[in-house]
Chains A and B, each alone.
Chain A
Amino acid sequence: MSSTPDATRTAAIEAGAALLARLRTQIGNAIVGQARVVDEVLITVAAGGHALLEGVPGIGKTLLARALARAFRGETSRVQFTPDLMPADIVGHMLYEARSGEMKLRRGPIFTHVFLADEINRSPAKTQAALLEAMQERQVTIEGESLALPAPFVVLATQNPIEMEGTYPLPEAQLDRFLLKIRVDYPSEREEVELTRFVTNGRVGDAFALDDVEAVATRADVVEIQEATAGVFVDESVVEYAVRITRATRSRSGLSMGSGPRGGLALVRAARASALLDGRSFVTPDDIKDVAPAALRHRVQLEASADLEGRSTDDVVGDVLAEVEAPRE
């Protein structure tokens, strides 16, 4: 971490940055507006993480997952999480085949590259936990047999922030597995006009087409991007800055629970990817600051009093960033 990046690594990083830029352009062809969301999803992919997308229905979360997969020729599967969804419906199960008289493995939809877990908080904790192993270990275990998931593998889970009736809030352990929690807001008026024109112009129905998304990378390219991200140089002082921010959330008034050490790890991982997306081979404190809200908002818990005052986790994380001193020698 403290060694200067060498020429080989610099070349890999430049190639990774170029690939990321191409992916960004292609996804942008399908997703009107939401540039920040696209960037954060790409940061998640580059950092080898998973993202929790929070936003009201109908703002392109599924389309985003499909566009991402198409841009790198990956497979995608979408599972609508419901209260009666069972873990086996996600990971797969062993099935007795009468013809051969053998137990056959039927792989679940998790065996894909981009797994969209739609409305993940509609399923009980047991089903949510089925994703834990997949997200952390990138493998699933069926009947005692561990099966590796294809690479790259990214989980994009969505949850609706408004409808809380009949939902099962994600446990902290599960939330911690998500590298970023991405807020997907409504597009601006100009973007919405453009979106409406784009979707209704000469098309039947209101389904979004992915015709404009070209496959500009391969699955192997995405793995290379992830390796390049891991090689992005991070100065020791920047790492310390990330850790100081994480630790500051633990003693911050307005938060009943601060971020654990995974918060610091997520900050540095996401900052690396952010730097690569920006075409740089090194991380600056600004990268840390940029990704901090998305990397920390789901790892901290707001105090009831702060909640009643109308403050959000983003407000408090913003306060923390405004108080933690920038890196120093």
Chain B
Amino acid sequence: MQAEELRIAAHPRSGWEAVDLGFAMARAWWRPIWGAWFLIVIPIAAALIVGLRGHPWWTLFILWWLRPVAGRIVLHVLGRALFSDPPSPVATLRALPEIFRNGVLASLTVARFSPTRCYALPILQLEGLQGDARRERTRILTRAELGPAASLHSICAHLNGALILALLVFTLWLAPEALAEQVFLLFQNWFDGDTTAGGLLVAFLYLIGTSVVEPFLIAGGFGLYVNRRMWLEGWDVEIALRRLTRRYEQRAPSRFVENARRDVGATLLLLTLFTSTPARAEPVCVPDDPSSAGACSGEVLAGEEFGRWEDVDRWMLREFEWDMDWDWPEWKFGDRFGAIVAGIAEVLLWVALAVGLILLVARVIRDPPWEDASGDPVSPITLFGLDLDPKALPADVIGAAREAFASGDATRAISLLYRGALVLLIERRELEIPASATEGDCARIVRTTSDMLLVDDFGALNDAWILSRYARAPIGAETFKDLCQRWAPRLLEPAS
């Protein structure tokens, strides 16, 4: 791969920008892509449709199942076009053995149901890795941008469906009036599975829809793949460094250039070491030899200054063997498999039981059922700094208030009266006064009662309290006497 020969602007992109790049590639190279598609995919699919004409549903299923195989044609063209001229349809036809050499089985089995298959297809097809190496490569590359890849699949699936439906409707529209009813009957009978003509028509419509959407899906996935490699392997950096080297070479073929070339070469090799994972013989570090820069950088990286070591403690599943000496019941299907399934089910049941118990205990601790069984809102114990616990109030509130006023502590006197009034409202009148209620809120709540006398008396007391509390204003003896007279009947009344 020569990064310099890239036919696209090399710079890291976001996931959706990469998808857009893929679409742009599909649009730019549409002739070779759809040319190859029409030359290879359409005839085979048409033959399949005609060959399976008695089985319309099987035809659709097989067409759907083989879509990743058809997508390989598109990917081949895109892969070639990225670095050189796109191959002609005939060249693509000739390259079929190469196209289907790697990972076809995986494409049609384990990877078939992957919602990100378009993203992983280039790894299967273009990189030619096998086994663990492929898995590791897939894991590294698909560590990011899975979201856009899955969304792209979803969008394309919906577009495909919409397109097929649109084509169905379009066909009905275009059908001559005399034939419209017959065409409609064809579709209807196709749903009932009665005729092959309707099945053929729908299968061809499906093929047309797929021919439009599938190349874009594959191109979008290829865009993501290329972008991911650009991030990981720094193609843009490599290209910039190569250009830098070339520029220096053209300007002054001197010792400086030699040094620059060596440095750039070393940097490129360092990048290569970081970003690719080929299996090679261990090179030896030779000072001043650009070709061994990778090994030198390996030595540097092995130093204490690089790398990060940390001890991590975490729970891991221990490897254990099933004790097969247990007394297993007679299983109808394979003793070992049945034992494993039963063992897993038993463990899951115990875990579920334990979790359920823990949740139950937590619920009981948090919200004890024996407390506040009525579900009534809990009235605040303090309001505006006043202790509203009835037990904290003196038995004779009016007497205590008069005593405090006589001793010159008017603030305490009015506070006692106000506390007594609020306790009365909460306890006996069962008014709900939240902790956030201000004096104005309390007055509004009291006004909701129909007891106008109470409203009037509470208003007077509220005003006196506000003056005393927030204006630090003295309360006159007459005012206090009036308040005592207003509230004495209520506060002296024994609780029922």
Contact across chains for B434 and A284 when beta carbons are under 8 A apart: no
Q: B470–A321 contact, CB under 8 A?
A: no
Give every chain B residue within 8 A of A283 (Cβ-Cβ): 470
For chain B, the bracket of interface size reads: 20 to 34
Q: State the CA gap A289–B435 with chains docked (Å).
A: 14
For the complex, is A282 an interface residue (Cβ under 8 Å from B)?
A: yes
Verify A284–B470 contact, CB threshold 8 A. Answer: yes
Contact A238 B436 (CB under 8 A): no
B residues near A203, Cβ cutoff 8 Å: none
A4-B472, A235-B469, A235-B472 as given contacts; A285 in contact with B439, CB under 8 Å? yes
* A286 and B439 contacting across the interface, CB-CB below 8 Å: yes
On whether A286 and B438 interact (CB within 8 A), knowing A326-B384, A328-B382, A328-B385, the answer reads yes
Select the residue from A4, A238, A283, A327 with max chain B CB neighbours within 10 A: A327
Checking A281, A323, A327 against B385 with a beta-carbon cut-off of 8 angstroms, the contacting residue is A327
Q: Residue A77 at the B interface, CB < 8 A?
A: no
Query: Which residues of chain B are near A103, meaning CB under 8 Å?
Result: none
Question: If A235-B470, A281-B471, A284-B466 touch, does A321 touch B384 (CB 8 Å cutoff)?
Answer: no
| Chain B binding surface, main DSSP class | loop
Chain B, 125-167, CB within 8 A of any chain A CB: none
Return A251 CB to nearest CB of chain B, in Å: 16
Contacts of B383 in A (CB 8 A): 326, 328
Assess whether B438 is in contact with A326, with CB atoms less than 8 Å apart: yes
Q: Does A115 contact B (CB under 8 A)?
A: no
Segment 2-37 of A: residues with Cβ below 8 Å from B: 4-5
Map CB proximity to B onto A308-329 as digits: 1 under 8 Å, 0 otherwise.
Answer: 0000000000000111111111
Q: Give A285 to B440 CA distance when docked, in angstroms.
A: 8
Shortest CB distance B412–A (Å): 11
Which chain A residues border B439 with CB–CB below 8 Å?
284-286, 326
A160 located at the interface, meaning its Cβ lies under 8 Å from any Cβ of chain B in the complex: no
Instruction: Tell me if A285 and B471 are in contact (CB < 8 A).
Output: no
Q: How far is the CA of A321 from the CA of B441 in the complex (A)?
A: 12
Interface residue A237 (Cβ < 8 Å from any Cβ of B) = yes
Residue of B nearest to A234 (CB): B470
Q: Does A233 contact B (CB under 8 A)?
A: yes
Contacts of B435 in A (CB 8 A): 325-326
Residues of B within 8 A of A280 (CB): 471
Instruction: Please state if B472 and A238 are interface contacts (CB–CB under 8 Å).
Output: no
Q: Does B437 belong to the interface (CB within 8 Å)?
A: yes
B440 to A233, Cβ gap below 8 A?
no
Within 8 A of A (CB), among B378-402: 380, 382-386
Q: With A284-B439, A285-B438 known to touch, is A233 a contact of B385 (CB < 8 Å)? A: no
A229 and B108 alpha carbons, distance in the complex (Å): 80
Which residues of B from 185 to 237 have beta carbons under 8 Å from A?
Answer: none
Give the tally of cross-chain contacts (CB within 8 A). 58
Segment 214-267 of A: residues with Cβ below 8 Å from B:
233, 235, 237-238
Query: Smallest CB-CB separation from A327: which chain B residue?
Result: B384
Shortest A127–chain B CB gap in Å is 34
CA distance A329 to B411 in the complex (A): 13
Interfacial residues of chain B within 465-479, with CB under 8 A of chain A in the complex: 466, 469-473
**Which residues of A263-304 are within 8 A (CB) of B?**
280-286, 289
* Residue pair A238, B470 in contact (C-beta under 8 Å): yes
Are B436 and A325 closer than 8 Å at their CB atoms? yes
- Taken together as a complex, chains A and B put the C-alpha atoms of A282 and B385 apart, in Å, by 18
Tell me if A286 and B440 are in contact (CB < 8 A): yes
- By a CB distance below 8 angstroms, the chain B residues around A282 are 470-473
How many angstroms between the C-alpha atoms of A282 and B468 in the bound complex?
Answer: 11
List B contacts of A233 (CB < 8 A): 470-472
Are A321 and B471 also in contact (CB < 8 A) when A326-B383, A326-B384, A328-B382 are? Answer: no
B318 CB → nearest A CB, Å: 41
Q: From residue 436 to 486 of chain B, which have CB atoms closer than 8 A to chain A?
A: 436-441, 466, 469-473
Point out the residues of chain A lying under 8 angstroms from B441, CB to CB: 286, 289, 326
B472 and A328 within 8 A (CB): no
User: In the assembly, what is the distance between CA of A47 and CA of B470, in Å?
Assistant: 20
Kindly state the separation between the CA atoms of A282 and B472 in the bound complex, as whole angstroms.
9
B436 in complex: contacting residue of A4, A5, A281, A326, CB < 8 Å: A326
Complexed CA–CA distance, A4 and B471 (Å): 7
**Contacting residues, chain A, for B436 (C-beta < 8 A):** 321-326
Instruction: Tell me, in angstroms, the Cα distance from A285 to B437 when the chains sit together.
Output: 9
Residue of B nearest to A235 (CB): B470
| B437 touching A326, Cβ below 8 Å | yes
Instruction: For chain A, residues 162 to 189, give those with C-beta under 8 angstroms from any C-beta of chain B.
Output: none
Chain A proximity of B178: nearest CB distance (Å): 52
Complex Cα distance A286/B440, Å? 6
Within 8 A of A (CB), among B383-435: 383-386, 434-435
A284 to B435, CA, bound (A): 16
* Alpha-carbon distance A238/B438, docked complex (angstroms): 11
Residue of A nearest to B380 (CB): A325
A281 to B380 Cα, complex, angstroms: 30
A237 contacts B385, C-beta separation under 8 Å:
yes
Contacts of A321 in B (CB 8 A): 436
What's the nearest-Cβ distance from chain B to residue A273, in Å?
A: 16
Q: Do A328 and B438 touch (CB < 8 A)?
A: no
Q: Contact between A284 and B440 (Cβ–Cβ < 8 Å)?
A: yes
Q: Contact between B385 and A329 (Cβ–Cβ < 8 Å)?
A: yes
> A325: which B residues are within 8 A, CB to CB?
380, 435-436
A321 to chain B, nearest CB (A): 7
CB distance from A276 to the nearest CB of B (A): 13
Tell me the minimal C-beta distance from B99 to chain A in angstroms.
46
Complex: chain B residue closest to A322, CB-CB: B436
Q: Measured between C-beta atoms, what is the minimum distance from B324 to chain A in Å?
A: 53
Nearest-Cβ distance from residue A150 to partner chain B, whole angstroms? 34
Which residue of chain B has its CB nearest to the CB of A329?
Answer: B385
Closest to A241 in B: B438
**Whole-angstrom distance between the Cβ of B199 and the nearest chain A Cβ:** 45
Given the interface pairs A326-B383, A326-B384, the reply to whether A289 lies near B471 with Cβ below 8 Å is no
The answer to whether A284 touches B472 (Cβ under 8 A) is no
Q: In the bound complex, what is the Cα–Cα distance between A307 and B473 (angstroms)?
A: 45
Q: Nearest Cβ in chain A — how far from B385, in angstroms?
A: 3
Q: State whether A284 touches B438 (Cβ < 8 A).
A: yes
- Among B380, B436, B441, B466, the one with the most A-chain Cβ atoms within 10 Å of its Cβ is B436
The CA-CA distance from A235 to B439 in the complex, in Å, is 15
Q: A283, A284, A322 — which one has the most chain B CB atoms within 10 A of its CB? A: A284
- Of all chain B residues, the one with the shortest Cβ separation from A320 is B436
Which residues of B in the span 4-63 have a Cβ within 8 Å of any Cβ on A? none
Known A-B contacts: A280-B471, A285-B470. Give 19 more (CB < 8 A).
A4-B472, A233-B470, A233-B471, A233-B472, A235-B470, A237-B385, A282-B471, A282-B473, A284-B440, A285-B440, A322-B434, A323-B436, A326-B383, A326-B435, A326-B436, A326-B437, A326-B438, A328-B382, A328-B386
19 pairs of residues in contact across A and B, judged by CB atoms under 8 Å: A5-B471, A233-B470, A235-B472, A237-B385, A280-B471, A282-B470, A283-B470, A284-B439, A285-B440, A286-B438, A323-B436, A325-B380, A325-B436, A326-B383, A326-B384, A326-B435, A326-B436, A326-B441, A328-B382
Residues of A within 8 A of B (CB): 4-5, 233, 235, 237-238, 280-286, 289, 321-329
Pick the 3 closest A-B CB pairs, nearest first. A329-B385, A328-B385, A286-B440
